[in-house]
Amino acid sequence: MKSYQVVILGSGISGVAFARLMQQAGLHDFVLLEASNSAGGLCQTRHIDGHWLDIGGGHFLCTKYPEVYDFVFAHLPKSEFNFFTRVSKLAIENHEIDYPIESNLWQLPIELQTEFLSSVLQNGESRGLPAPQHFEDWVRWKLGDRIADRYMIPYNTKIWGVSPQELDIDWLNKIPRLNLEEIVSACKHQQALSGKMPSHEGFYYPKQGGFQTVFDAIARPVQDHILLNTPAANLAIFGEKIIVNDQFEAAIVINTVPWSKLNFEFASLEIERSIDRLQHNSITVSLHEQPKHPTAHWIYEPDLNLRHHRRFFIHNFAPHSREDGVYFETNQKRWTDSTDAVYFHHNEYAYPIPTLGRAQAIDSVLNYMRDRRIFGLGRWGQWQYFNSDVCIWEAIKLFRSLFQTVPVQPVGVRRC
């Protein structure tokens, strides 16, 4: 049996970032167990006949955490990136407007503006009703029935693959939070309010390759520690040691893979039930050759008659990729083999679904495992819709809590 200080389950961005932090601190007694024949997880890219396709869906570098920029740019210099001001669109009512809808209703014809605004003005919030705790009810309370029915409900039904009534509201930091006065003001002045984008207003993307270029730069120094084709399956505890697959002995385990893929010989029935309550969706990313959009990086498409929910124009953020490259994201439940797809890739584990009870379930799992020196990290380890920058930030925080403060070489960055 091989013994390590730390065994890391999974070699996506979360696991590799944690491993690299250990290495930077002079700690080398670790191994990463990867089920696949390649590292990278959702951050992988394929080069297909001149197209650079991020097979895990849209990945871009932008963060509110300066230390994440420092960490990334220390591995792949800032000069190796292009910076873009985000241009994302929403297709609604046979029109195309800028995202988010709340700031850009003024771009619709006046008749539609009036209908949407009338609905917003009659929402539950403006009538003094208490905020609901279910997602669909909250959307209607906050934005009115028209935006709910034409955009928020169908779009979220498409992406998550469950009824919006099953969704919690604890993930709403992903959604713009304009108040009623701001929505009306945007229409009155025919101008979107600045600083109201819920996430990145600008982003970096590698000048060469796809987003895997970022991952590879971080992973390269620790590649000799990664064991491919080695899925973690079973965990047991003997004394002060955690045993993985009856082959690897660890003082600490960092888990970045879905909890449901692991068997815990020591887990209580309550914890097993909590793991069973954690839901995920599956997304297919399909490459198509179509005319590129003149400006948009991607478009949100809530129309239920379209199987996909989001469309990306690769050349607009990766000018080294062919101009006619477009990829769709489609929930696996809605996917059918497309006759015009040049290539497609199924991601069995794409997003954790923010269902009612998710937060309580994952908190129970994390607390129970933490007491046994098993720490969840990243999108799957923490079962939250984390982008890659947050995965790196969570790795930094976890490493520091377990070991020490890691000095990161300061790098001048441009904030988004």
* Residues ≥6 apart with Cβ < 8 Å to 154: 302, 303, 304
Per-residue pLDDT at 178:
64
Distance from C-alpha of 244 to C-alpha of 64, rounded to nearest angstrom: 36
Give the 3-state secondary structure of residue 30. strand
Per-residue pLDDT at 173:
63
**345-385 per-position pLDDT tens digit:** 999 999 999 999 999 999 999 999 999 999 999 999 999 99
Q: Which CATH superfamily is domain 2-86+205-402 in?
A: FAD/NAD(P)-binding domain (3.50.50.60)
Mean predicted confidence (pLDDT) in 177-197: 74
**Percent of the chain at pLDDT exceeding 90:** 84
Distance from C-alpha of 134 to C-alpha of 66, rounded to nearest angstrom: 34
**19-40 per-position pLDDT tens digit:** 999 999 999 999 999 999 999 9
Alpha carbon dihedral 255, 259, 263, 264, in 10-degree steps, equals 70
**Percent of the chain at pLDDT exceeding 70:** 94
Span of 35-44, 135-144, 382-391 with lowest mean pLDDT: 135-144
Q: Where are the domains of the chain?
A: 2-86+205-402, 88-189
As a whole number, the mean pLDDT across the chain is 93
**Cβ atoms 288, 327 nearer than 8 A:** yes
**Cβ atoms 212, 9 nearer than 8 A:** no
**275-324 per-position pLDDT tens digit:** 999 999 999 999 999 998 999 999 999 999 999 999 999 999 999 999 99
Per-residue pLDDT at 182:
80
Distance from C-alpha of 366 to C-alpha of 376, rounded to nearest angstrom: 6
Per-residue pLDDT at 175:
64
Per-residue pLDDT at 413:
40
Per-residue pLDDT at 174:
61
**pLDDT above 60 for 411:** no
**Cβ atoms 149, 93 nearer than 8 A:** no
* Residues ≥6 apart with Cβ < 8 Å to 306: none
Span of 115-124, 345-354, 391-400 with lowest mean pLDDT: 115-124
Q: What's the distance, CA 100 to chain centroid?
A: 18
Span of 38-42, 117-121, 227-231, 410-414 with lowest mean pLDDT: 410-414
Burial 307-346 (b: 16+ CB within 10 A, else e): bbbbbbbbbbbbeebeebbbbbbbbeebbeebeebbebbe
